[in-house]
């Protein structure tokens, strides 16, 4: 393939679209399915509905123009005649279908007005004495301008050229009863006619299991390596002094939950090390991650180092800032605030306070990772809602200090199912907050058809007259931000008219940050009773008195999103309700999502269902994660292989690291630079 200075050809470009950069990649470009062209059916036996191959002689062919331009040919074998029809065609097809020529046509048979026909069959011109293919025909994932036949040829050539040496130690292969590498690959690319098609297509065939195991093994090895490599970097040890954290715990108006204490133990132990912590803190919505972050940050500060908390939106960052300030100011601990919307002067002041060391703690948005912000004494970086950030953004925060890396604490309210954590996040240490603070009343979830919307409006009115507050979440319109905004404004106007005895507010993504903050502040002060909102409130917003939530067109939202939104209520002592308004008819998937959210309040259970409904790529935001996605193995179906791969990865790294390197080269050559994120 083109290398060095040569200009990439069109073919190279197309192959790269498929993730193919070299011969190894071609070999690992495996068929999605197969077609059986190893046998022919007589036209007589080719009944409608069947997908078959016939071999016949062209009797007649012509281009007709009614009802539209098309090429129609009549072919005949010893048993009968069949019509072949092409609505678009090139001269080469016309040529193959000249009377007297022999062709093989592969396709689905349909019962047409003039008898059996095939529309757009795959044609093959039969030459004198030619025999049938000896292997099933693989159908590869393809892209525009790259035909199956071209891909097949490339694979054939690569199979001849590339070493198919088995990289796995014999003992491992034997103990796991794994098929050989060469045999498996040849089998998958060229299965013999008698191959078990169902086992091939469900990927349960031993040849597939071998490939999937190796893929999982390469992934585990790359993650383990990243894990080990982290320990080769230096970080400032931040032992617990108790000077700040101790005082903080005394002034905190509540006692930590058992889960919070356990998680803090993990973090505390990590911070004492001289290599960087890389811990993921998972905790369902409302489980109390912020106070954990605050304690970790104080531990950095009591060692004289800086700590930064980065959040994905201004609403959220500002809320964290207010919370930390509220807790820490009385203790005389300064917190500064950095956001994109900030006035130049304020920003300058904040930066000065950081530089002078007056303040060690900083909260902000992406503004924290801008070049002008120098966090030269950064000891700890906390990233809230970490999945909202790209790998590079998270790394940017880490690169702030040269020589030493800061400790990293990543927080996520999207619980990650075990299988997913095992495969995609094995390079992190994970702590889980699996207990909600006491005094919460469970949220009652109601599914209400949109035709009863007026009843819901009345309930909101009653609740607000009793002193409660409500969120009203606008329908999601993913295709257009403008339409989304328009809908939000309309919803706001309608509700303001319907609830003219209440104060209704509106918050959406296009508001200026200070406008947004103003609305939120008014809501916190209960000057607004009903807050109409887009999904900007999805993450982290915390207003304990808001105990009612209505979500319009709930069927349009994703499962994780619904769970996050619902988590905005149920934060105070009052019984909370979440009303999901839906419009009929529901799609199958929409029904499943609503059912899942109705049936469970447990973030982990919901995440599991979400994973089933969406698949891992969508779930973790494939483009963001930087971890290579699995192409063949399925983390739910192949969990046994994953367990084995995990064990094997440790053994290989310990006993024969060169095997690990070879596996990484085979599976990720040149593409693992983001693995260390």
CA distance 290 to 255: 14
**Residue 260 binding target from Mg ion, ligand ADP, none, CB below 5 to 8 Å by type:** ligand ADP
DSSP 8-state code for residue 146: B
Residue 567 sits in the site that holds Mg ion (CB under 5 A): no
To the nearest whole angstrom, how small is the minimum distance from the Cβ of residue 259 to ligand ADP? 9
| Closest approach of ligand ADP to the CB of residue 471, in Å | 15
Residue facing ligand ADP at closest CB distance = 288
Neighbour-count burial for 279-289, b at 16+ CB within 10 Å, e otherwise: bbbbbbbbbbb
Examine residue 257 and tell whether it contacts ligand ADP (CB under 6 A).
Answer: yes
Q: Per rule CB under 6 A, is residue 415 in the interface with ligand ADP? A: no
Total of chain residues touching ligand ADP, rule CB under 6 A: 17
Of 211 and 311, CB closest to Mg ion: 311
- Which region among 227-235, 268-276, 289-297, 590-598 touches ligand ADP (by CB under 6 A)? 289-297
CA 210 from chain centre, in angstroms, equals 26
Nearer to ligand ADP, 315 or 581 (CB): 315
For residues 339 and 212, give the distance between their C-alpha atoms in angstroms, rounded to a whole number. Answer: 45
Shortest reach from residue 675's CB to Mg ion, in Å? 28
Tokens of 412: 């996520």
- Is residue 567 within 8 A of residue 541, CB to CB? The reply is no
437 contributes a contact to ligand ADP by CB under 6 A = yes
x/- mask, ligand ADP, residues 562-591, rule CB under 6 A, reads: ---------x--------------------
How many Cα atoms within 13 Å fall on the side-chain side of residue 553?
13
Site string for Mg ion, 522-541 (x = CB under 5 A): ------------------x-
Name which position in 31, 138, 276, 286 contacts ligand ADP (CB under 6 A). 286
Nearer to Mg ion, 294 or 578 (CB): 294
Query: Does residue number 260 form part of the binding site for ligand ADP (CB under 6 A)?
Result: yes
Binding mask 526-565 for ligand ADP (x = CB under 6 A): --------------x-x-----------------------
Within 10 A of 132 (CB to CB), how many other CB atoms are there?
A: 13
282 binds ligand ADP (CB under 6 A): no
Per the DSSP assignment, residues forming a β-bridge with 469 are: 546
Q: Return d(Cα 109, Cα 112) in angstroms, integer.
A: 9
How far apart are CB 423 and Mg ion at their closest, in Å? Answer: 26
Q: Quick one: 37 or 384, whose CB is closer to ligand ADP?
A: 384
- What is the rounded CA–CA span in Å between residue 530 and residue 500? 11
d(CA 351, CA 265): 32
Packing angle of the helix pair 181-189, 148-161 (nearest 10 deg): 160
Give the tokens for residue 302. 């009591």
Smaller CB separation from ligand ADP, 173 or 323: 323
Strand partners, 64: 70
Of 107, 276, 283, 616, which one interacts with ligand ADP (CB under 6 A)? 283
Are the CB atoms for 224 and 427 separated by under 8 Å?
Answer: yes
CA distance 69 to 65: 4
Is residue 412 near ligand ADP by the rule CB under 6 A?
A: no
* Cα(286)–Cα(572) distance, integer angstroms: 10
Q: Which residue has the tokens 């999805």?
A: 538
Which position among 291, 360, 460, 565 is part of the footprint of ligand ADP (CB under 6 A)? 291
Would you tell me which residues interact with ligand ADP (CB under 6 A)? 254, 256-257, 260, 283, 285-291, 413, 437, 540, 542, 571
Would you tell me which residues interact with Mg ion (CB under 5 A)? 540
């Amino acid at each position: 393939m083109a290398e060095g200075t040569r200009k990439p050809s069109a073919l190279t470009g197309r192959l790269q679209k498929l993730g193919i950069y070299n011969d190894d990649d071609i070999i690992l470009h495996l068929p999605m399915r197969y077609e059986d062209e190893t046998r022919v059916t007589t036209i007589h036996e080719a009944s409608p509905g069947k997908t078959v191959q016939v071999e016949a002689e062209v009797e007649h062919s012509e281009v007709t123009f009614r009802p539209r331009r098309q090429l129609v040919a009549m072919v005949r074998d010893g048993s009968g005649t069949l019509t072949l029809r092409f609505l678009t065609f090139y001269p080469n097809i016309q040529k193959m279908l000249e009377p007297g020529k022999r062709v093989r046509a592969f396709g689905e048979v349909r019962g047409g007005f003039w008898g059996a026909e095939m529309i757009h069959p795959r044609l093959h011109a039969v030459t004198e004495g030619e025999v049938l293919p000896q292997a099933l025909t693989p159908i590869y994932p393809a892209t525009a301008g790259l035909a199956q036949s071209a891909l097949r040829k490339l694979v054939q050539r690569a199979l001849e050229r590339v070493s198919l040496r088995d990289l796995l130690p014999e003992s491992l292969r034997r103990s796991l009863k794994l098929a050989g590498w060469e045999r498996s690959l040849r089998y998958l690319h060229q299965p013999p006619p008698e191959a078990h098609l169902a086992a091939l297509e469900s990927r349960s065939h031993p040849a597939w299991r071998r490939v999937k195991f190796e893929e999982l093994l390469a992934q585990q090895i790359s993650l383990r390596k990243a894990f080990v490599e982290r320990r080769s970097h230096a970080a400032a040890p931040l032992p617990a002094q108790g000077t700040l954290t101790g005082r903080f715990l005394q002034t905190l108006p509540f006692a930590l939950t058992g889960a919070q204490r356990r998680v803090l133990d993990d973090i505390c132990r990590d911070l004492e090390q001289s290599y960087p912590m890389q811990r993921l803190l998972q905790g369902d919505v409302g489980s109390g991650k912020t106070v954990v972050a605050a304690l970790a940050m104080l531990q950095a500060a009591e060692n004289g180092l800086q700590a930064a908390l980065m959040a994905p939106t201004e609403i959220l960052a500002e809320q964290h800032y207010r919370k930390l300030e509220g807790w820490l100011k009385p203790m005389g601990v300064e917190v500064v605030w950095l956001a994109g919307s900030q006035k130049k002067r304020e920003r300058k002041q904040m930066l000065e306070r950081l530089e002078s060391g007056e303040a060690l703690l900083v909260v902000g948005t992406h503004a924290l990772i801008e070049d002008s912000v120098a966090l030269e004494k950064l000891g700890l970086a906390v990233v809230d809602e970490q999945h909202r950030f790209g790998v590079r953004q998270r790394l940017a925060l880490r690169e702030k200090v040269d020589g030493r890396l800061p400790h990293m604490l990543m927080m996520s309210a999207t619980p990650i199912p075990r299988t997913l954590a095992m495969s995609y996040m094995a390079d992190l240490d994970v702590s889980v907050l699996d207990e909600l603070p006491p005094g919460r009343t469970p949220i009652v979830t109601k599914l209400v058809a949109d035709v009863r919307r007026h009843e819901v409006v009345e309930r909101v009115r009653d609740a607000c007259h009793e002193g409660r507050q409500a969120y009203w979440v606008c329908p999601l319109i993913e295709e257009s931000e403008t339409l989304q905004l328009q809908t939000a404004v309309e919803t706001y106007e309608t509700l303001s008219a319907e609830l003219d005895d209440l104060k209704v507010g509106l918050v959406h993504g296009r508001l200026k940050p200070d406008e947004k903050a103003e609305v939120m502040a008014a809501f916190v002060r209960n000057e607004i009773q009903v807050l109409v909102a887009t999904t900007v409130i999805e993450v982290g917003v915390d207003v304990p008195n808001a105990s009612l939530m209505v979500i319009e067109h709930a069927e349009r939202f994703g499962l994780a999103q619904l769970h996050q939104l619902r988590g905005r209520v149920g934060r105070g002592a009052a019984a909370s309700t979440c009303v999901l308004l839906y419009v009929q008819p529901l799609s199958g998937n929409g029904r499943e999502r609503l059912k899942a959210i109705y049936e469970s309040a447990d973030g982990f259970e919901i995440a599991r269902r979400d994973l089933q409904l969406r698949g891992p790529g969508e779930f973790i935001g494939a483009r963001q994660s930087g971890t290579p996605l699995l192409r063949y193995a399925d983390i739910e179906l192949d969990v046994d292989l994953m367990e084995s791969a995990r064990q094997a990865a440790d053994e290989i790294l310990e006993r024969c690291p060169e095997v690990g390197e070879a596996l990484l080269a085979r599976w990720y050559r040149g593409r693992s630079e983001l693995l260390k994120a």
